[in-house]
Each structure stands twice: as C-alpha cells, then as structure tokens.
Chains A and B, each alone.
Chain A
C-alpha cells in the first residue's frame, strides 16, 4: 500500500499520478501478468508429473491474464465508478483457482508416485 493514510487522503495535486491513475493501472496490469506467468510456471511443473492436471493449470494462465484486462482499458476508471465491485468477482475467481490448484497438487503429492531417485 502507499504511505499515505487512507483516512486522510490529500486533495489531488499537480503530480502525474494525481491527475491520472494511469501508472497505478499499469503497475496493476503488470501484476496481473506476473500472476498469469506464475500459474503457467506451476502448470509447467505439474505437467511433468501429471499431464492432464498440468494442462488444466496451464489453461488457467491465459484466463488469469484476460481477467486482468477486464475493465482495465484507458479511461476505465472514469467509466466505472465502483472499481471494488468490478474487482470482487475477479479476485474471488483467482482465489478459487489457487485453492483448486492447491487441492490438485495435494492429491498429486499424496497419491502420485515419485521415482525412488527423484530429481529425474
């Protein structure tokens, strides 16, 4: 979070971010991209152990990337007065995805066979 206390928000100034939260939007967009890459990396790791599960997780990556693009276009802040409402469903979906992926990985970890020598 930023250093500013949300309870006492300063009035808009002349700084570039005060006039337009475009840079904050850009950083958030990049953050969504990194999250999608993290899903892809996990999918690649699981792919080695279980093809079907790995492919499912890999398929989640572009969905996550696309979720990050929803209402993130230029001027979306002006068009959408309730950003938190827009975000709730998307973030809930991400949470459900991670919990689902963790459950799949748990099943693979417990039931899957790892070679005696490992580090294959």
Chain B
C-alpha cells in the first residue's frame, strides 16, 4: 500500500466510513481509546521533559549545545509518538471490528530505542562537561 493511501486511511472521515465487520464490544473500544490516551500523555510528558531540559537546566560546561542535543529529540519524539498512537488506534479498531488478532505494536520499541539513545548522549555530554 502506498504512503498516500496509508495516510488517507488515517483520516477521520475514512475511519468513520469503515463499515467492515461488526461494531466491537464497547469495552474493547473503550480500552483501545484509553490506550491511545495513555500514549498521548506519554507524548506530552516527553514534550515537557524536552522543553524543561532546554529552558530550565543550567548549561553544560564545555558543551554549549548540550541542552538542545538532549531536549530537541525528546520534543520530536513526543510528536512522533502522538501520530503513531493515532495510527495504532485506527489499526486496532480495524482489527477489533473484524475480529482479527491485534497488530503488533512498534511504539514500545520506538520509545525504548529513542530513550536509550538519549540516555547514551546524556552520559557522553555529562562526561565531556565533567572533564572540562
């Protein structure tokens, strides 16, 4: 499926027109919605953390761009997570309507990989600033 079609499938109008399968048990629909909201709050927390690092932390001696190096990726990850959470909700709802197994989620992997990367960068920045 092309990227334009994938993006079009995420639009609310397309989701609302999806009449395939049957309306799932409301408890599953509510649970899917709560999962989306939990990811949204995680995304907001990442944005706050990123902004806090850039604006509130004291600068790292010897690493002038250190705060931006740590904060900006967190803010970008927050935006990416928000979009991925919505795409995940659409895919899950699609599967629930058709009684199919729920698709594998890549979001925990994205989150873990990015946080690990940022932790490594943070360690390097701290080491450099401690040595100067």
Contact = CB atoms under 8 A, between A and B. Distances in A.
Interface of A: 1-2, 5-9, 17, 21, 24-25, 27-28, 31-32, 34-35, 38-39, 41-42, 45-46, 48-49, 77, 81-85, 87-89, 91-92, 94-95, 98-99, 101-103, 105-106, 108-110, 112, 114, 116-120
B79 A119 contact: no
Given A24-B31, A109-B75, A114-B67, A85 B101 contact: no
SS class, residues of chain B in contact with chain A: helix
Interface residues of B, number: 61
Contacts of B99: 6-9
Nearest to B28: A6
- Does more than half of chain A's interface fall in helix, strand or loop, or is it mixed? helix
Contacts, number: 175
Interface in B1-37: 10-12, 15-16, 18, 23-37
Interface of B: 10-12, 15-16, 18, 23-38, 40-41, 43-45, 47-48, 50-52, 54-59, 67-68, 71-72, 75-76, 78-79, 82-83, 85-86, 89-90, 92-93, 95-97, 99-102
